[in-house]
Amino acid sequence: MTSHAIQAGILGVGSYTPEKVLANKDIEKLVDTNDEWITTRTGIKERRIAGNDQVASDLGIEAGLAALKDAGINAMDVDLIIVATSTPDMHYPSTACIIQDKLGCKKAGAFDLAAACTGFVYAAVVAEQFIKAGTYKNVLVIGTEVYSRVVDWEDRSTCILFGDGAGAAVFGPVAGDKGFKATTLGSEGSGGDMLTLPCSGSRIPFGETESVNARAVVQMQGREVYKFAVRVMEEGTEEVLEKAGLAKDDIDLVVPHQANIRIIEHYAKKMKLPMEKIVANVDKYGNTSAASVPLALDEAYKQGRIKSGDNLLLLGFGAGLTWGAAVIKWA
């Protein structure tokens, strides 16, 4: 078969969030802030926090199992696992390999992908290419994060934003005109210092210094990231719609990265889209980085907001700087 003969789409979705809820009123006890301040500026009311015995692979396994069940396939049917995460269990083995073993996907290759909050969209595009090429049939893509371990709980500008969670999707061949219609990926490395996790790599190894600038915690230039996000969401949408040959009115549901409700609302206003067409659950989970798009996708699916034949727009943006968009017709 030629690559044009195989169309890739979503076969199943799943998600998982830890039981512990950290509400804004709880954060008031940690830093100088309050519920009104957080809600007004971010739209976040609460976020989930992983248990002391939970790591990224644990969350990812649960989301992966749910996605496999929804797709109606078993572990031995999986050909490849891609895990998008910026909070892996460790540098190596990869979190994907840990998940591959624990899920029992004995025939699957596995690797991690690092594109921060854009990670799931990047990984979905990679999965599509493997399927279209005929290299693999069933690809399990998981976004999983435990950001509670890498935020500075004394820094109110960042600790209020992030939460833990995982989302997953099984990608595989679909029939007819369903599946991916167009994709676009972008990067802007010149802005990389706007959002960093500086310590833990070869530049600043663990234990080398205790200076605050080198600590293994998220550091962000909030205003600059906000400007970047609203710009690339609009540009990415226009580019991917042009590639797909669609107008914005042809999109039934937008599933964006959940970073800040003001970013989502600004996007809706600029694109002249009703909020009813956009998934927004940042109020319940905060920013779960690579997990946010698949988590929002699964929630929308469970709520009955997605039906066969709907055109979905997945949008991601984050550290790198990176961004990505994909139009997918739901199977």
* Tens-place pLDDT, residues 107-159: 999 999 999 999 999 999 999 999 999 999 999 999 999 999 999 999 999 99
Average pLDDT value for residue range 27-33: 96
Q: In terms of domains, do 151 and 116 share one?
A: yes
- 97: annotated active-site residue: no
What is the CATH number for 209? 3.40.47.10
- 287: annotated active-site residue: yes
Average pLDDT value for residue range 277-297: 98
The structure tokens listed for 292 are 């946010």
The whole-number pLDDT of residue 1 equals 36
Residue pair 14/167 in contact (Cβ under 8 Å)? The answer is yes
pTM score above 0.85: yes
The structure tokens listed for 175 are 């029939």
Per-residue model confidence as pLDDT tens digits over 202-248:
877 766 555 555 567 899 999 999 999 999 999 999 999 999 999 99
Q: In terms of domains, do 192 and 299 share one?
A: yes
- Of 176, 198, 233, at which residue does a domain stop? 176
- Inter-CA distances, 274 with 46, 150, 277, Å: 24, 35, 6
Alpha-helical (H) ranges within the chain are 24-27, 35-42, 56-71, 95-103, 119-132, 156-159, 222-244, 261-271, 282-285, 292-302
The residue annotated as part of the active site, out of 24, 105, 138, 257, is 257
Q: In terms of domains, do 142 and 245 share one?
A: no
Round to whole Å and give the CA distance between 167 and 196.
23
Q: Residue 120 is which amino acid?
A: F
Round to whole Å and give the CA distance between 18 and 281.
16
Q: In terms of domains, do 290 and 255 share one?
A: yes
Asked whether the CA dihedral 98, 67, 171, 235 is positive or negative, the reply is: negative
Q: In terms of domains, do 237 and 142 share one?
A: no
- Inter-CA distances, 276 with 71, 265, 268, Å: 27, 11, 10
Per-residue model confidence as pLDDT tens digits over 148-200:
999 999 999 999 999 999 999 999 999 999 999 999 999 999 999 999 988 77
Q: In terms of domains, do 106 and 187 share one?
A: no
Q: In terms of domains, do 211 and 325 share one?
A: yes
Q: Greatest CA span in the chain, whole angstroms?
A: 61
Cis peptide before 321 (omega within 30 of 0): yes
Q: Which domain holds residue 30?
A: 3-176
- Inter-CA distances, 202 with 93, 198, 205, 290, 316, Å: 17, 10, 5, 23, 27
The residue annotated as part of the active site, out of 24, 97, 105, 117, is 117
CA 243 from centroid of its chain's CA atoms:
22
Residue pair 108/81 in contact (Cβ under 8 Å)? The answer is yes
- Of 128, 149, 176, at which residue does a domain stop? 176
- 117: annotated active-site residue: yes
Please state the length of the chain: 331
